[in-house]
Structure formats: C-alpha cells, structure tokens
Structure 1
Amino acid sequence: MARSAPRAGDPTLHQMRIFWAVARSETLTKAAKQLGLAQPSLSQQLGKLETTLGNRLFHRRSNEMELTEAGNFLLPRVEQVLRIVAELEDGLAQFSGGLRLTLRLAGINSVLRGLLPTAVRAMQEKFPELDFDIQESAPTDILDLLYGRRVNIGLLAADSVAQAGVGFLQVPLMEDPYVLVVPKDLLLDGVRNPKIELAPAHWAMLNQSIQFSFGSQHTNRVAEWYEQRLPEHRVVAQCRSFETAIGLVQAGAGVCLAPALASGSQGVSNSVRLYRVQGAARRIVALIPSQYRRVEPYASLLEELQCAAQTCTVGGILDTPPFLAVDPPQSF
C-alpha cells in the first residue's frame, strides 16, 4: 500500500522542539538561548506552528509567553513525541559501530572537580572511543541545558533549583555536609562562649559573614542559621558561588557556610579551617532523562560517578565547636 505524502500543513519536529522550549522557558529570550537560535527565527517558527494548527498557543506579554488553553493541551503530547524521538535516537546509537560518541554533561564546579575526574578516567578504559563535552554551569543553567537537550546529564545539588527533578530522573550520588569556613588564624576548637574566649579581633572576624544564596528559601535558611548561632553577625558580602565566598575567607574578609565538597575541591586546607556544622547535608544528584538511565554509556557513567562519590573524602574537617551545637539541626 502506497504511503501518502505528508501534508504541507503538518507541524515539524523542529517546530515542536521550539514550542516545548518556549513553554518551559516562559520567555523567547531564554528559549532562544537554550536552542542556540536567533529570537526572530524562533518567533517565526512559532507563528507557523500556530497557523498550521489553527490555534493560538501563547498569550504574548512583552517578552513573556503564557500558554493558552490550546497550548496547555498540546504540551504533554509534544513532550511524548519528543520523548519517543529521543528513545529512537538512543536506540539507534547502539548500532553506530566504531563511530565516536560524545557524552555531553553540565555540572556545578564542586562536583565537576570532586567527582568527575575519577569517573571520566574509568570511562576511558571502558569506552576508548568515547569523548566528553563538559560545561561548568550554575544550577538553573544546567536545567535549561537539559530541557534544551544540549546536555545529557546534569550534576548538581537536588535542592538548588525549584522542582529540579521535573521531567528528569534523579540519581543520588552523595551527601555533602556543610562546614563553617574560617581564616586559618581563627581557632574555634572547644570554644563555648566566643565573645568571651576569643580575642576582640577574632570575635569581630567571626561576626563578618560572607553569604551565598541561590534562591529565597535557601537565603532564609542561611539567615536563620546565622541568627541562631551568631546573632551579632553582619553580612559583609553576598556571593553567587561558593568558590568566590571561600576565596574571600582565604583573604581574611570574614567567614562563610559552604558544602565540604566545594571547600575541599578548592584545595584551601592550608589557608582556612573547616568546622563541621549541624544540619542536613547537601544532596548531590545526577539529573538525566529517564530513557537514558539504562542506555550505554550513560548507565556506566552514573555507576562510575556513584563509585567516585563513595571514595570521595574531604580531609581536615574539624569537630563542631560547642557554641555552634545548637538544637534543632538546621537544614540548608
């Protein structure tokens, strides 16, 4: 039986990917960045898709894009189509013979430094033809890259992006405890009343907080921690990366809370002291589309990352000073 030719009005796969990216991004500018396309081209393809379907898919308000009722109906069905296409691509990749395969991933600095090198070295032995495209990115950018299918795996803290797991499988890697990072000459071992026991200059240094935040909830939790433990502190700097905050501590600008992995990956143990604090650890995960979970080489990389996490230790972490052992434990 002869196959009928596609109708001129059929939506294309390219248009469906653009629609999905805009629906997830909520702005044309952000979607264009994800897809690596010019914004005018993006708008043109969306317009063609709406004409083809005979329905308006977005309410346009300046650069903001809000799904219409028709758009909300279409979105889960487009996601299903794209998921099937991705499964086809991954399945056919198994028959590529000796062709090289590039594994694309993005992650936060501390995880890329602390876990990835060991995993990559093990993968090179298993898959000699495999190469890597590695991007250091902020958590929100990692999610954008995943949604835009520009990377296959994202490595980040599970709570660093609101609803980070939506649409992706979370593969747990490790628990990363928080530490209080202080200058080397600020000795807090056994201190119960720092205002009395510390020299005036050291007491002043302890109360200069350098804070990192990646969202209002995290900011509020960090502020609450300081209010409970160091009620006389003042914020001397706000940072967008743990590495920047730790660098300021190294220079003697104050103290900061940071995950142990970020502190250890900086190689700063000779210039700072790390004191364990009470509280929930940062949960490091790999975000991956569910269809990749059992497909090679992704499955092996996840396994090697978990092995690297099991052997990863940050040395030099000191016991919690008595004055910081305040109940109940604070979660960050």
Structure 2
Amino acid sequence: MAMDGKQREKRPARVEPKPSDLTLHQLRIFWAVAHSETLTKAAKQLGLAQPSLSQQLSKLEANIGTLLFHRRSNEMELTEAGQFLLPKVEQVLRLISELEDGLAQFSGGERLTLRIAGINSVLRVLVPLAVSHMQERYPGLDFDLQESSPTEILDLLYSRRVNVGLLATNSVAQAIVGFVQVPLLEDPHVLVVPENLVLDGIADPQRELPPKQWAMLNRSIQFIFGSQQAQRVAEWYDKLLPEHRVVAKCRTFDTAIGLVAAGAGVCLAPGLTTVQQNPTATNVRLYRVKAPPRRIVALVPSQYRRTEPYQGLIETLQAVAARHTIPGLLETPPFLAIDTPIDL
C-alpha cells in the first residue's frame, strides 16, 4: 500500500555524525600539562603563551564533555577522566612519532632529522665528532640538537619530541620506563683548583700548604641544580674539606670553572665539564677524587635500538666515548684519597 506524505514524514530523522574536534595539538598539550608541575612549566616546554595553552585545554575538555584536571591556583591534578585518558594519549603520541619516523625513511630524498637532547658537556665534547662521522655514513641525515637539563630531556623523550637523550643517570631520581639505556662513558669527578695551587703528594694540606694556598683550598665554589644534589655536594666537602666555606653558588659548571680559573676558589666537577674548546685557555689543575663517576648513557626508545640510523648513532657515540680522555687529569692527592660512597 502506498504511503502518504505524512506517513513518510514520520520516519526517524537521519542524525548527521558530528566530526571530532579533537586535535593532535590538544593531545600534546594535555600530555605536557599532565607531566608538568604547573601550567607555566608546560607552556614553556611547548613554546606557547599560557593563555593559548589554557584555551586549547579548555576546548579539549569541552569536546570530551568532562573536566580532565582539578585546578588549584597554578597547579593541575588529573581527574579520574584525565587518569583514564593519559595512557591512551601516550599511545597515540607514540604511534604518531613512530609513523613520522618510519615514513621519513621512504621520503624520496627528503632529509631525515635525528632529534637529540643532551646535557651541555656531552653535546659539547662527544656529539660533534659523532655527528661528523654520521654525516660521512649518512649524507642525507641532519641533526636537531637541544641542550637541556636531565628532567627536561626525559620530558622531551616521553613526549616523543626527541629521538635520543644523552644524560647522566645519577642526576635523575625517577625510573626511566620504555627506553633502552646504552652506557657511553663513566665520567670521573675532579677537584678543579687554580693553576698555582699544587696539591701533588699533599697528605696534610693545613700543615704542608702555605697559608694563602690553604685558605684558597677552603674557598668552595659549588654547582647547584637541585636540593638532593646540593646535599650530596655539601656532604662531600664536609667530609674531605671540613674547614671550607662556600664563596659562590653557580648554575653552570662553565661559570664555576671560570671562577676557579680567576683564583676565586676551588670546585668539584665532572671531568667532562672541564674539557674546553681550547685546552690551553684554562688556568686550572684537575685532580681526580674518590667519588663515584657520573654514568653517561644514551636513552633511546626500545623500538629504535636496532633500527638505522639510530643504531649507527649509538655505536658512533660509544666509539667516540671509548677514545675520549680528559686532558691534564692528575692523580688523587693523598688527603683526597679517602673512599666516599657519596654519589655526586
């Protein structure tokens, strides 16, 4: 039987699917905020203005239809929905990164970029020679190098914004999950002193050194980047140089060593940080101490460990590190030859 017009109008209306407004940019913002202590830190990491970051985060919550964070002043705490979403977003970002890196190998001549984040001393001393060797082996390869702190390096790795991280494992307290740690170098700690402060064979510096040199030895210049590290450095000085006083605190080893070279005092530093572009330009002596060395490693996602050119880069870094020596490194003076378990 034929249907009249009114009967046809009673059919359920077709619901047009609403296109998803979720964007990869918003997911990256969500990830950064979830792994940052404050919105300010997340905005800095992403290179965004904080108002723009807040706006994108609000759009994401509006699209999903629920809050992802409890907001307390500038602090952000994941809601139950946010805790559910976070591992899903990490999977998406990981897949996107793998997709981009995989397709780059079939880009028909387009250059592949290796993105590396590392601490200053490793980027300055080990990486240049490794890059030179890699350019010979892979003419179509270029590099994006970022100098960062250890915690920033981990953030960049987890967000897949870099492919390889170069850092000292001693300087990060958190567990490093999802990455292969490839040992590169054990970097000894040294006591950096002015050139005219000769400690060779000194067993009792207070009795054996002239008064001015004894006073110089007890002026410590300390590099501070965190409360735990500061405590460990203080313990080392208290044990080995109990009469010292802190005359300066620095945020870079370059600054601390520059102060030593100018005769302001002495400092404890990893050996790699003392290597200069021009070895003859430093007016310092380097004495090995009995503290555990920094363990320099390359962190690389497990799926890249045996994939070129990442495997080639790791092998090249290992070869460069194996040949590396610290110029002018002197034997430990007897008064510093006390074994200390302090992990600097």
Per the TM alignment, residue 39 of structure 1 is displaced from its structure 2 partner at its CA by 2.3
CA-to-aligned-CA distance 1:108-137 (integer Å, 9 cap, x gap): 221112111110111011111112222323
Correspondences of 1:109-188 after superposition (within 5 Å) = 109-163=120-174, 165-188=176-199
2:291 and 2:339 in contact (8 A); partners too = no
1:243 and 1:266 in contact (8 A); partners too = no
Structure 1 match to 2:210? 199
2:323 is the counterpart of 1:314: no
Q: Equivalents in 2 of 1:172, 1:180: separation in Å?
A: 24
Per the TM alignment, residue 101 of structure 1 is displaced from its structure 2 partner at its CA by 1.8
Per the TM alignment, residue 148 of structure 1 is displaced from its structure 2 partner at its CA by 4.4
Give 4+ residue runs of structure 1 displaced > 4 Å after superposition. 266-270
Letter of the aligned partner of 2:314 in structure 1? L
| Structure number, greater radius of gyration | 2
2:117 is the counterpart of 1:106: yes
2:219 is the counterpart of 1:208: yes
Correspondences of 1:240-259 after superposition (within 5 Å) = 240-259=251-270
CA-to-aligned-CA distance 1:139-181 (integer Å, 9 cap, x gap): 3333343344443222221122332724543322111000101
Letter of the aligned partner of 1:283 in structure 2? R
Normalised by the length of structure 1, the TM-score is: 0.92
Q: Equivalents in 2 of 1:234, 1:160: separation in Å?
A: 24
Change (3 A) 1:214 1:164: farther
Q: 1:55 aligns with which of 56, 66, 69?
A: 66
Structure 2 match to 1:41? 52
Letter of the aligned partner of 1:327 in structure 2? D
SS in structure 2 at match of 1:224: helix
1:34 and 1:148 in contact (8 A); partners too = no
Structure 2 match to 1:323? 335
Change (3 A) 1:295 1:39: farther
Q: Equivalents in 1 of 2:52, 2:341: separation in Å?
A: 51
CA-to-aligned-CA distance 1:55-95 (integer Å, 9 cap, x gap): 21101122211111221121112111211222222221221
Aligned Cα RMSD in Å? 2.1
Q: Equivalents in 2 of 1:236, 1:26: separation in Å?
A: 32
Q: Equivalents in 2 of 1:164, 1:275: separation in Å?
A: 32
Letter of the aligned partner of 1:52 in structure 2? N
Letter of the aligned partner of 1:25 in structure 2? S
Per the TM alignment, residue 266 of structure 1 is displaced from its structure 2 partner at its CA by 5.5
The range that moved more, 224-233 or 167-176, is 167-176
Letter of the aligned partner of 2:174 in structure 1? Q
SS in structure 2 at match of 1:179: strand
Q: Equivalents in 1 of 2:309, 2:49: separation in Å?
A: 32
Q: Equivalents in 2 of 1:263, 1:40: separation in Å?
A: 41
Q: Equivalents in 2 of 1:260, 1:300: separation in Å?
A: 26
The range that moved more, 31-40 or 123-132, is 31-40
Q: Equivalents in 2 of 1:260, 1:329: separation in Å?
A: 18
Per the TM alignment, residue 267 of structure 1 is displaced from its structure 2 partner at its CA by 4.5
Instruction: Name stretches of at least 5 consecutive residues in structure 1 with no aligned partner.
Output: none
1:221 and 1:331 in contact (8 A); partners too = yes
Letter of the aligned partner of 1:281 in structure 2? P
The range that moved more, 104-113 or 116-125, is 104-113
Change (3 A) 1:327 1:35: closer
2:113 and 2:142 in contact (8 A); partners too = yes
SS in structure 1 at match of 2:152: helix
2:94 and 2:160 in contact (8 A); partners too = no
2:191 and 2:269 in contact (8 A); partners too = yes
Structure 1 match to 2:238? 227
Instruction: Tell me the matched-pair count.
Output: 329
2:97 and 2:160 in contact (8 A); partners too = no
Structure 2 match to 1:64? 75
Normalised by the length of structure 2, the TM-score is: 0.89
Instruction: Name stretches of at least 5 consecutive residues in structure 2 with no aligned partner.
Output: 1-15
Correspondences of 1:266-305 after superposition (within 5 Å) = 267-268=278-279, 271-305=283-317
Of the two structures, which has the highest relative contact order with CA contacts closer than 8 Å and spacing of 6 or more?
Answer: 1
Q: Equivalents in 1 of 2:178, 2:49: separation in Å?
A: 26
1:277 and 1:320 in contact (8 A); partners too = yes
Change (3 A) 1:34 1:328: closer
Letter of the aligned partner of 1:170 in structure 2? Q
Per the TM alignment, residue 100 of structure 1 is displaced from its structure 2 partner at its CA by 1.2
Identity across the alignment (%): 71
Q: Equivalents in 2 of 1:191, 1:6: separation in Å?
A: 81
Q: Equivalents in 2 of 1:124, 1:266: separation in Å?
A: 21
1:212 and 1:240 in contact (8 A); partners too = yes
